[in-house]
Amino acid sequence: MVRKTIENFSIYQICDSGQCFRMTPIHGETDPASGEIRMQVIAGDRYLEILQNGKECMFDCTEEEFEGFWKEYFDLETDYASYIAQINPNDTYLLNAAAFGSGMRILRQDLWEMIVSFLISQQNNIPRIRKCIENICREYGEKKENAKGQTYYAFPKPEALAGLDEDALKACNLGYRSKYVVRSARSIVCGEIDLDAIRNMSYKKAKEELLKLFGVGVKVADCICLFALHHLQAFPVDTHIHQAMETHYKRGFPKRRYKGVEGVLQQYIFYYELAGTPLETGKRSKRLNRFL
């Protein structure tokens, strides 16, 4: 067990921020009204449980695993207060959004997992995306066991999906997105797309390469760049962000002012538009079911 006191970190806000889909509250052990939250996280083939109460966090793993993986995964060495401090004091909307989602962090997630996740996210909502990913992991991922002896499933490798019929993943409720995932897996396995090369590219080059994948458009490419490659200048525009731009930034978001951290501020806006009320009160908004 690793204990840490962390500023600007809310595992509950991150869970419902639309950037990760294998993070879920542990039923019967989470009481948001009291401030105590227990969450399970599956990243790739790793499993973690976190207990958080205010700024106090307990990570149920060894110190070695925390230092070698989870600290970077949660981007814990970054000072997010410094991002909030950069906000124009006259921009009341953005200040409110950042205050509302001040526990948000941009996770450093696996590139392949994010490609699949955001291919699935198109014209979809968060509960359904989670279910789709759970289905493909259970069907095609490696069966694993956590420290409690409970079964979970690793995220399937491209090789596990590349040989499937293009419509095979419809059985996992992916619908028309099945062919997007299967064809992307084939592109990676046959060497048309080199994930290792993409990991070392600039934001512009990485985005260009991701757009070569079947089914990946500009918004999905930006999501992958932000949540997998940690290119913080990526600014994905979905229905929530588009709505916010039309209402609060008719002349466009001031990206020049926030150069290099636009993606962090985008995530504050996204979460503000998505959730509507603080999740810590236990009042989960119906807007969580809106399309991404």
Tell me: do 115 and 222 sit in the same domain: yes
pLDDT at 33: 61
Query: What's the pTM value of the predicted model, to 2 decimals?
Result: 0.91
Tell me: do 99 and 116 sit in the same domain: no
Residues 6+ apart with CB under 8 A from 6: 55, 57, 76
2 bridge partner residues:
59
Which stretches within 10-125 are classed as H helix?
Answer: 11-15, 63-65, 71-73, 80-85, 92-100, 111-120
Tell me: do 152 and 191 sit in the same domain: yes
> What percent of the chain is modeled with pLDDT above 70?
92
* Both structure tokens of 271: 């979460």
Tell me: do 209 and 163 sit in the same domain: yes
Tell me: do 167 and 197 sit in the same domain: yes
Tell me: do 189 and 158 sit in the same domain: yes
pLDDT at 136: 98
Put the strands of the sheet holding 2-5 in their side by side order. Answer: 2-5, 56-59, 46-53, 36-43, 23-25
Give 30's pLDDT tier (boundaries 50, 70, 90): low
Q: Which of 191, 210, 227 is the last residue of a domain?
A: 227
Domain hosting residue 74, numbered range: 2-107+235-289
> What percent of the chain is modeled with pLDDT above 90?
87
Tell me: do 55 and 99 sit in the same domain: yes
Q: How far is CA 141 from CA 18, 122, 149, 229, in A?
A: 22, 22, 18, 23
CATH code of the domain in which 242 resides: 3.30.310.260
The three-point CA angle 43-230-213 to 5° equals 80
Per-residue pLDDT reduced to its tens digit, 224-280: 999 999 999 999 999 889 999 999 999 999 999 999 999 999 999 999 998 864 433
The count of structural domains within the chain is: 2
Tell me: do 263 and 193 sit in the same domain: no
For 286, which DSSP code?
G
Known catalytic residues are: 219
Per-residue pLDDT reduced to its tens digit, 265-277: 999 999 999 886 4
Reference 224, options 145, 125, 106, 144; nearest CA is: 106
Tell me: do 252 and 206 sit in the same domain: no
The per-residue b/e assignment along 19-34, b for 16 or more CB within 10 angstroms, e otherwise, is bbbbbebeeeebebee
CATH code of the domain in which 168 resides: 1.10.340.30
Tell me: do 173 and 253 sit in the same domain: no
Q: Which of 181, 210, 227 is the last residue of a domain?
A: 227
